Amino acid sequence: MTLPHTLLEGGLLVDGSGQPGWQGDLLMAGDRIVCLGERLRAHPPQGIDLAAAEVVDCRGKVVAPGFIDAHTHDDAAVLRMPEYLPKLSQGITTVVTGNCGISLAPYRVAQAKSPLTLLGADSFRYADMAAYRDAVVAARPSLNVAPLIGHTTLRFAAMEDLDRPASEQEQARMAALLDGCMAEGAFGLSSGLFYEEAYAAPADEVTALARVVARHGGVYATHLRSEMATILEAMVEAGDCAFEAGVPLVISHHKCAGPANWGRTEETLPLVDRLGERQPIAMDVYPYVAGSTVLREDLVDGVIDVLITWSEPHPEAGGRMLADIAAEWGVDQQSAARRLKPGGACYFQMHEDDVERVMAHPRTMIGSDGLPHDRHPHPRLWGAFPRVLARYWRGRGLFTLEQAIHKMTGLTARNFRIPDRGMLRAGHHADVVVFDAERIRDLATYAQPEQLSEGIEAVYVNGQCTYREGGAALTARAGRLLSRKDFSA
Ligand code: ZN
Ligand code: CU
């Protein structure tokens, strides 16, 4: 039996390595890339008959590896809405899940508590990686899932009180759970030491878990203990932890938050470079000046704007400014925030210069950090990747097109050790995006966050055409739960 061939003809092939693109053809068969070349129809590779191939005219378009979202909270979203249009329509073909210490597996509970609620309180049904794998296989998501295991999830699974360090016994229980998940192919460990439920964990607790990950060849990604006044100390802690354990480090959604810290990427980025001389280190970033997470009074300073994304006691507050709600209630913003909890918010806590400086850094990957369970989500959920290309490449010239794509593909696959993806290479899985570089544009805004982007013309996942511009995901849902162990020789 011969596999059906698809020939993407005459596009600008930007291969994900960061090297200059060139005009040519890309040939796919089944779920793999067969080869790249010039005028392949006239000069097919030996032994391949292209008479019956599906030929797609890509002249004037960019053909690139499918984008890899380096930072997501999509663990449950890929099960609940497997077509997953918000990401697919951005050209994303793989999502790295389980970030910020919060993963769905390995933990079972009827009603999860904050911050696990970021994934949906009733989503925690998977006691181990095998159970989560079965769920992904059954859901058949449209894109690939590369799971990290969350430190905070491990704490919930192994500990009664989270306001103290783990005991020796609890530490052993967490290590065993993590070891099982890594043996099943998980890509590494994430932490969210900033969150109350992990804040009491000393560096040693995390280092011991990172050692488990090191044995399996995984990575360690961290939402730092602080992104504000003590960010340098937090970065050194993360650096030491990864160095001692012998794992590559990813600093999640790197930012300097709060007006008092604006401009301090001039200190943090040189520190990253310094650490980089002794250990593997990378960062991810989303292209916006607002962050988004659970609603917390300590993040409400009365200075920065705060937009409510969801509120359990006041669902109608979703999409409204906290200042307006506080004025209406005749209370200060912190009291209003307290009344709206549990909930979520966008905090306009970054400076554009810092965002650009981080994004332009050669170690930085693009990650959306979108929150798919929010009633009125941050626009990064629908727009992050097209926005990098529209605003920061085409508009601001922050990097070349090839560098921008590299930050979304090859660099990310390398940093997370995702096998055979992220580059246009013979033998790689056929995750491919075709887009119009002149038209590509995000339409999602803070006011209207759920908008499809423009200019993403076609998305192929494992060789299957899964999305075409303008709307509905096609019926193909060819995504897989990826495993660190799937390297083909
Ligand atoms: Zn985070
Ligand atoms: Cu996150």
The region, left, alpha or beta by phi > 0 then psi within -120 to 50, assigned to residue 210 is: alpha
Distances from the Cα of 235 to the Cα of 146, 192, 228, angstroms: 25, 13, 11
Find the 119 Cα to ligand 2 centroid distance in Å: 11
Q: How far apart are the CA of 148 and the centre of ligand 2, in A? A: 12
| pLDDT of 34 | 97
List domains and CATH numbers for the chain.
5-65+427-480 (2.30.40.10), 67-416 (3.20.20.140)
CA–centroid distance, 99 to ligand 2, in Å, is 5
Tokens at residue 180, please?
A: 């099982």
| Protein residues with C-beta less than 5 angstroms from the ion ligand 1 | 100, 223
List of long-range contacts for 270-274, beta carbons under 8 Å, 24+ apart: 271/232, 271/235, 271/236, 272/235, 272/361, 272/363
- Mean predicted confidence (pLDDT) in 273-299: 97
Q: With 0-12 CB in 10 A as exposed, 13-18 as middle and 19+ as buried, what is 488?
A: exposed
- Is the model's pLDDT at 221 over the cut of 60? yes
User: Which token pair is 331?
Assistant: 């209370």
Q: What is the mean pLDDT of the chain?
A: 96
Q: How confident is the model over 288-342, as pLDDT tens digits?
A: 999 999 999 999 999 999 999 999 999 999 999 999 999 999 999 999 999 999 9
Measured in angstroms, how far is the CA atom of residue 319 from the centroid of ligand 2? 20
Residue 477 scores a pLDDT above 60: yes
Q: Is the pLDDT of residue 473 over 80?
A: no
Question: Strand pairing partners for 291?
Answer: 347
Point out the least confidently predicted range of 1-15, 94-108, 272-286, 437-451.
Answer: 1-15
Mean pLDDT of 435-444: 98
Ligand nearest to the CA of 223: 1
Give distance in angstroms: CA of 215 to centre of ligand 1. 25
**Is the sign of the CA dihedral 177, 174, 222, 120 positive or negative?**
positive
CA of residue 117 to ligand 2 center, whole Å: 13
CB 237 within 8 A of CB 225: yes
pLDDT recorded at residue 60: 98
- Rounded to the nearest angstrom, the distance between the alpha carbon of 437 and the centre of ligand 1 is 30
Six-digit token pair at 45?
A: 């590779």
Expressed in angstroms and rounded, the spacing between residue 100 Cα and the centre of ligand 1 is 4
For 351-403, write each residue's pLDDT tens digit: 999 999 999 999 999 999 999 999 899 999 999 999 999 999 999 999 999 99
Cis peptide bond prior to 106, omega within 30° of 0: yes
- Which ligand approaches the C-alpha of residue 191 most closely? 1
Distance 198 CA to ligand 2 centre (A): 14
Mean pLDDT along residues 225-236:
98
Question: How many whole angstroms from 251 Cα to the centroid of ligand 2?
Answer: 11
Whether residue 472 has pLDDT greater than 70: no
Ligand positioned closest to the Cα atom of 255: 1
In the reported structure, the alpha carbon of residue 253 is separated from the centroid of ligand 1 by a whole-number distance in angstroms of 7
Phi, psi dihedrals of residue 56, rounded to the nearest 5°: -115, 125
Residue 489, pLDDT score: 41
Distance CA 488, CA 354 (A): 39
Q: How far is ligand 1, taken at its centre, from the CA of residue 87, in Å?
A: 18
123 CA distance to ligand 2 middle (Å): 17
CA of 149 to the centre of ligand 1 (A): 14
